[in-house]
Amino acid sequence: MPTILKIPFDKCIVDKERRGAALAPDQIQKEAENFFLTEDGNDWRPGVKWVDVPIAEEFEKTAENIKKAFAEHSKDIIVSLGGDNSISYSLMDAFAEVHKDKKAGVLYFDAHFDAQDNFTPATHEDVLSGTIGRVWCAHDVLVVGVRNYTKEELEFVKTWSLPNIKAKEFNSDKENSLKKIEKFCKGLDVIYFMLDIDVIDPSFAPGTGWPEPLGLHPQDVLDIILRFKDKIKILDIVEVSPPRDINHITSRLAAKILVEYLKT
């Protein structure tokens, strides 16, 4: 049974002028309701539960609520809708705990390495640096689509030997990149798929806090999600920002990915 966790939290975006992702869960749900059937002609809506995760003033309390919501629905097919990328910190922690007896891994699709600092709890800029070494081993994470980073983040990647496929590599050699993703996923029992919408080229997804040019094509991202659907136990969609969007095309794209993922 599919469960969609709506997590309207964006207070961990340090630059307040770039906030707006808290409005995304409601907007994505609204856009999803306009997709009556999947492209295969199936109705995706029967049995789908929409769950509002309580947001508190303190991030620590919100983090507890996120973990509790995941644990309660961990036997379901889960889609989480953020919110900023900081919510992934709590979800990845909860996912690792629930699946500690399985071979678990993370497909981390993002335009950034999210390893700027090492705050705990993490901001949207520190998700990987906050979890790798504490929650996840670096070799259990594959970052795909990065194309803007700092020297500090490159040092982090080097220190931890973090597996990654940068956007330039993926776009110029898609076949070999897909083989690397296939090899990474082959030995896993369960997958956490983190989709920061900014991994997609801003010509398709302008509504995000940090749009980066020369990103991935949305069809490529969806194809990878569907290819490993049987192993994916959570699809975590973050950083959609309706106030920065154009005619809601980014929210609608997120909704389309959600709908096609949930098709039977």
**pLDDT at position 15, please?**
64
Position 116 pLDDT exceeds 70:
yes
Mean pLDDT, residues 178-205 taken together: 98
Instruction: Report how many helices (DSSP H) and strands (DSSP E) the chain contains, helices first.
Output: 9, 8
Q: What pLDDT score does 120 carry? A: 59
What pLDDT, on the 0 to 100 scale, is given for residue 123? 61
12-21, 113-122, 251-260: which is most confident: 251-260
Helices (H), 110-209: 127-131, 151-160, 167-172, 174-186
* More confidently predicted of 264 and 235: 235
Per-residue pLDDT at 2:
93
The distance from CA 25 to its chain's CA centroid, rounded to whole angstroms, is 13
Find, among 168, 164, 153, 158, the residue nearest to 213 by Cα: 168
Question: Is 90 exceeded by the pLDDT of residue 225?
Answer: yes
pLDDT of residue 3: 97
Cis-peptide into 83, omega within 30 deg: yes
For all residues of the chain together, what is the average pLDDT? 93
Output the pLDDT for position 184: 98
**pLDDT of amino acid 46:** 87
Residue 118 has pLDDT above 70, yes or no: no
d(CA 169, CA 151): 19
Mean pLDDT confidence for 173-192: 97
pLDDT recorded at residue 194 = 98
Buried b vs exposed e over 56-83: b needs ≥16 C-beta within 10 Å? eeebeebbebbbebbeebbebbbbbbbb
Domain annotation for the chain: domains and CATH numbers? 2-262 (3.40.800.10)
Q: What is the pLDDT of residues 28-87, one digit of tens each?
A: 999 999 998 889 898 898 899 999 999 988 888 999 999 999 999 999 999 999 989 989
Phi/psi of residue 232, nearest 5 degrees: -75, 120
* pTM given for the model: 0.95
DSSP 46: T
The contacts of residue 240 (CB under 8 Å, 6+ apart) are 21, 24, 27, 28, 81, 82, 197, 205, 207, 208, 250, 251, 254
Collect contacts of 36-45 with beta carbons under 8 A, ≥24 apart: 38/259, 38/260, 38/263, 39/260, 40/263, 42/263, 42/264, 44/259, 44/262, 44/263, 44/264
By C-alpha distance, which of 207, 8, 223, 5 is closest to 107?
A: 223
Encode pLDDT of 122-175 as tens digits.
665 678 988 998 899 999 999 999 999 999 999 999 999 999 999 999 999 999
